[in-house]
Chain A
Amino acid sequence: MESVQIQQKEKRHPMENLLRMDRMPHIWCTGCGIGNAVSAFADALAILDFDLDKVCVVSGIGCTGRVAGYIKVDSFHTTHGRAIPYATGIKLGNPDLKVIVISGDGDLVSIGGNHFVHAARRNIDLTVILVNNFIYAMTGGQVAPTTPIPAYTTTSPFGNFETPSNVPQLAEAAGAVYVARWTALHMRRLTYSIVDACKKPGFSVVEVISPCAMYYSRINKLGDGLDMMRFYYDHSMIKHGEPTDHLEIDYQKEIIVGKFVDRERPTFSESMKKWLEG
């Protein structure tokens, strides 16, 4: 039997010049929200019109840590929790670069918590995109510092009882100049938030609440990725400027999203320059 060849005009997606197409398909699961974060980031880069040769992405270890491997700029996949100090070294080594850290909740708030706090305190000019899926997915579904009470994970087999971190509050308290939170559903708003965060000098944090279909929602019987997106649709409320101590995420309850902090502080480089000249 003759095989039928379908002729198709080859079309290229506009995002392809920002992605390492030679590595596709990516490793993320069906129903994962990290892809959304990457798309939003790619769109933001297109809007910002930065010289892509001067953009550098640093990530840590974890599912979100793999983002660096798919974005076609100078990118670094470093050690667990140390993306921020690595990025600090890059930024101080060449202040002309735009350095963006993309990593997960475990990587940035748990093992990297110390570095998160200090980089915010110093106001290093970095943009941090923190994808929060409430779990350590890459290593098989262990509890994270952001896991709500009383969710099940493989290392909280009887339900988590530890109070979870409130990432925007932590960022604000430590000194970040821009703090926003969106979910993987709010693609347009997330994109524009990333644009604002990148434009703003200083330490900016954009938290992206994301579904984890393989572990978090499966172990807790919350459905698949699409079910989680429906949940975000029904339960997220946009409240710009909300005080960050109101932003805890309780299990399967309302998620407050929006832009919470947008303030001015001298950046580390500005202060250092003044001191060197003084």
Chain B
Amino acid sequence: MKANPSDVFTGTYYIDGDVAAAYGALAAGCKFLGGYPITPSTEAAEAFARKAPYVGAQFIQMEDELGSIASVLGASWAGKKSMTITSGPGYSLMMENIGLGAAMETPFVIINIQRSGPSTGVPTSTGQADIMQSRWGANGDYEIIALAPDSPQESFDFTIKAFNLAERYRVPVMFMADECVGHMTEKVVVPDASEIEIEPRRFYKGKKEEYIPYKRDKDLVSPIVKAGDGYHLYVTGLTHDERGYPILDNLSPFNIDQAKVRNKKSTNQYLVDKIRKNKDKIIELQENQLDDAEVVIVSYGITSRVSYRALEQARKEGIKAGMLRLITVWPFPDDRITELAKKVKGFVVPEINYGQIVFEVDRCSHGEANTILVPHGGASVHKPDDILGAIKKIMADDKKYDNIVEYTTSLEKQVFKGCLAEKIRKRQR
């Protein structure tokens, strides 16, 4: 389905990633934003607040992030495409309700403009340290989809993608931008509405009496309904069967519905299976010079832009380097990494954190390729020289690593006068 022309502010702009994300959300048909101000995401909420009355969208600044995410879930069940915008500490506060949203299979989008952490950290600066949290932050088992843009244009485009994926798979989608992309001002082209594909909400179209809330199609996704349409909906975070009723009920001998219940199994398995089964349709990667590559840079978000520079330099120096950019970070492209690991010497994983996605890369390589992490605490981006240094190290090392190797960056050398880990190990011996 094409976007609604009244939602799309067609034109060419010079805006930052935060504002572009807000425009993207509106173009995708988002009609509800429950937010709470947190640096560095405030510009996105403010842009949405300015435009909301013109497109019939609702903006509310809630009392805190817990209120924000709860209101987003509510609005989604009222039939609106909804989202919230936050950063690290706010994201942590939202975890319980993200779990609730995942368990209820509520479609919504969270825009996380990551900042340096942990805790209050450096609020006005960049980081990529929430990426594992987006996958594992809430309790219990569930799967989510996470996207990582590397420019304001991608902030616009990927927000639309995020909403489409959320509606398609009835899953929370995490838009993991970072402060650098969020506050970077670049040209953003908002095309005509007829060029924007959006996924409408897949409402149930059958008979009311035959409606079974979690009866799934071949993709393991169930059509949704909204409050107020007469379905007498019951949605709960308690482990439930396909009727949406808690399975605890099924244990009761007084439950008169026992005989009528087709399938008393809990839906927990499907929360993970519906994404795992459809991985190939969801995963999106960008590959650069991988055909003859001997070393591959695996990056996402703002770090990819720095990695391009390192890649260019490496090729100039005759090193057969390539790059794999994760557009969808979750679900992780296990198979592609395993495939590449068989051909290449190693993977260089630059991240603005002390190791998160690198664990996944290392896991999927099954010991067939070496993995080097180029860490960075945050508050700035990598230096291309550090990534290049890591590439050279992998090419120079012949032995197989027995674990992930952490590259000593120039910043670490500057702050600790050398490699901190080496210093400690020397003392331990």
By a beta-carbon cutoff of 8 Å, the part of chain A in contact with chain B is 61, 77, 79-81, 110-111, 113, 136, 138-140, 142-143, 145, 154-158
Q: Does B140 contact A (CB under 8 A)?
A: no
Q: Does B286 contact A (CB under 8 A)?
A: no
9 examples of A-B residue contacts, CB within 8 angstroms: A110-B63, A139-B39, A140-B46, A142-B42, A143-B61, A154-B42, A154-B49, A156-B49, A157-B50
A140-B37, A155-B49, A155-B59 known; A111-B120 Cβ under 8 A: no
B interface secondary structure, majority: mixed
Task: Please tell me if the beta carbons of B120 and A61 are within 8 angstroms of each other in the complex.
Answer: yes
Residue among B36, B43, B50 with most chain A CB within 10 A? B36
Task: Please tell me if the beta carbons of B63 and A138 are within 8 angstroms of each other in the complex.
Answer: no
A110-B64, A111-B63, A140-B39 known; A155-B120 Cβ under 8 A: no
Instruction: Give every chain B residue within 8 A of A140 (Cβ-Cβ).
Output: 37, 39, 42-43, 46
What is the number of residues of chain B that contact chain A, defined by CB distance less than 8 Å?
Answer: 20
Interface string of B22-63 (1 = CB under 8 A from A): 000000000000011111001101100110010000010101
**Smallest beta-carbon distance B49→chain A, Å:** 5
User: Which residue of chain A has its CB nearest to the CB of B48?
Assistant: A155
Report how far A111 CA is from B171 CA in the complex, Å. Answer: 27
Report how far A65 CA is from B37 CA in the complex, Å. Answer: 15
Task: Please tell me if the beta carbons of A139 and B63 are within 8 angstroms of each other in the complex.
Answer: no
Instruction: Give every chain A residue within 8 A of B59 (Cβ-Cβ).
Output: 155
Task: Please tell me if the beta carbons of A155 and B46 are within 8 angstroms of each other in the complex.
Answer: yes
Task: Please tell me if the beta carbons of B46 and A79 are within 8 angstroms of each other in the complex.
Answer: no
Which of A79, A139, A158 meets B119, CB within 8 Å?
Answer: A79
Report how far A79 CA is from B93 CA in the complex, Å. Answer: 11
Taking CB atoms and an 8 Å cut-off, the chain B residues in 398-423 that contact chain A are none
Task: Please tell me if the beta carbons of B38 and A139 are within 8 angstroms of each other in the complex.
Answer: yes
Task: Please tell me if the beta carbons of A113 and B63 are within 8 angstroms of each other in the complex.
Answer: yes
Q: Number of residue pairs across A and B with beta carbons under 8 Å?
A: 49
Q: Does B89 contact A (CB under 8 A)?
A: yes
**Smallest beta-carbon distance B152→chain A, Å:** 19
Report how far A139 CA is from B18 CA in the complex, Å. Answer: 14
Instruction: Give every chain A residue within 8 A of B37 (Cβ-Cβ).
Output: 136, 139-140, 142, 155
Task: Please tell me if the beta carbons of B45 and A155 are within 8 angstroms of each other in the complex.
Answer: yes
Report how far A130 CA is from B37 CA in the complex, Å. Answer: 19
**Smallest beta-carbon distance B429→chain A, Å:** 39
Instruction: Give every chain B residue within 8 A of A110 (Cβ-Cβ).
Output: 63-64
Task: Please tell me if the beta carbons of B119 and A155 are within 8 angstroms of each other in the complex.
Answer: no
Instruction: Give every chain A residue within 8 A of B45 (Cβ-Cβ).
Output: 142, 155
Instruction: Give every chain B residue within 8 A of A111 (Cβ-Cβ).
Output: 36, 63-65
Task: Please tell me if the beta carbons of B38 and A154 are within 8 angstroms of each other in the complex.
Answer: no
Task: Please tell me if the beta carbons of A142 and B46 are within 8 angstroms of each other in the complex.
Answer: yes
Instruction: Give every chain A residue within 8 A of B120 (Cβ-Cβ).
Output: 61, 77, 79
Task: Please tell me if the beta carbons of B39 and A138 are within 8 angstroms of each other in the complex.
Answer: yes
**Smallest beta-carbon distance B237→chain A, Å:** 21
Report how far A126 CA is from B29 CA in the complex, Å. Answer: 48
Instruction: Give every chain B residue within 8 A of A77 (Cβ-Cβ).
Output: 120
**Smallest beta-carbon distance B335→chain A, Å:** 40
Task: Please tell me if the beta carbons of B61 and A79 are within 8 angstroms of each other in the complex.
Answer: no
Report how far A140 CA is from B64 CA in the complex, Å. Answer: 16
Task: Please tell me if the beta carbons of B49 and A145 are within 8 angstroms of each other in the complex.
Answer: no
Beyond the given A79-B119, A139-B42, could you list 19 further A-B residue pairs with CB under 8 A, ordered by the A residue number?
A77-B120, A80-B89, A110-B64, A111-B64, A113-B63, A138-B39, A139-B38, A139-B39, A140-B37, A142-B45, A142-B46, A142-B61, A154-B49, A155-B35, A155-B45, A156-B61, A157-B46, A157-B50, A158-B53
Taking CB atoms and an 8 Å cut-off, the chain B residues in 202-261 that contact chain A are none
Interface string of B55-79 (1 = CB under 8 A from A): 0000101011100000000000000
Instruction: Give every chain A residue within 8 A of B61 (Cβ-Cβ).
Output: 142-143, 155-156
**Smallest beta-carbon distance A27→chain B, Å:** 12
Which of B42, B46, B64, B119 meets A81, CB within 8 Å?
Answer: B64
Taking CB atoms and an 8 Å cut-off, the chain B residues in 75-121 that contact chain A are 89, 119-120
Instruction: Give every chain A residue within 8 A of B50 (Cβ-Cβ).
Output: 157
Report how far A113 CA is from B63 CA in the complex, Å. Answer: 8
Report how far A80 CA is from B121 CA in the complex, Å. Answer: 13
Instruction: Give every chain A residue within 8 A of B63 (Cβ-Cβ).
Output: 110-111, 113, 145
Instruction: Give every chain A residue within 8 A of B119 (Cβ-Cβ).
Output: 79
Instruction: Give every chain B residue within 8 A of A79 (Cβ-Cβ).
Output: 89, 119-120
User: Which residue of chain A has its CB nearest to the CB of B61?
Assistant: A155
User: Which residue of chain A has its CB nearest to the CB of B92?
Assistant: A79
Instruction: Give every chain B residue within 8 A of A80 (Cβ-Cβ).
Output: 64, 89
Instruction: Give every chain A residue within 8 A of B42 (Cβ-Cβ).
Output: 139-140, 142, 154
Instruction: Give every chain B residue within 8 A of A142 (Cβ-Cβ).
Output: 37, 42, 45-46, 61
**Smallest beta-carbon distance B33→chain A, Å:** 10
Residue among B43, B64, B89 with most chain A CB within 10 A? B64
Report how far A158 CA is from B61 CA in the complex, Å. Answer: 14
Instruction: Give every chain A residue within 8 A of B64 (Cβ-Cβ).
Output: 80-81, 110-111
Residue among A80, A138, A139, A155 with most chain B CB within 10 A? A155
Instruction: Give every chain B residue within 8 A of A136 (Cβ-Cβ).
Output: 37
**Smallest beta-carbon distance B63→chain A, Å:** 4
Task: Please tell me if the beta carbons of B39 and A157 are within 8 angstroms of each other in the complex.
Answer: no
A77-B120, A142-B61, A143-B61 known; A154-B46 Cβ under 8 A: yes
Report how far A17 CA is from B92 CA in the complex, Å. Answer: 38
User: Which residue of chain B has its CB nearest to the CB of A112?
Assistant: B64
**Smallest beta-carbon distance A260→chain B, Å:** 24
Instruction: Give every chain B residue within 8 A of A155 (Cβ-Cβ).
Output: 35, 37, 45-46, 49, 59, 61
Instruction: Give every chain B residue within 8 A of A156 (Cβ-Cβ).
Output: 49, 61
**7 cross-chain pairs, A with B, having the tightest CB-CB distances, nearest first:** A111-B64, A142-B37, A139-B37, A110-B63, A154-B46, A140-B42, A155-B61
Report how far A155 CA is from B47 CA in the complex, Å. Answer: 9
**Smallest beta-carbon distance B149→chain A, Å:** 22
User: Which residue of chain B has its CB nearest to the CB of A106?
Assistant: B37
User: Which residue of chain B has its CB nearest to the CB of A142?
Assistant: B37
Residue among B46, B53, B65 with most chain A CB within 10 A? B46
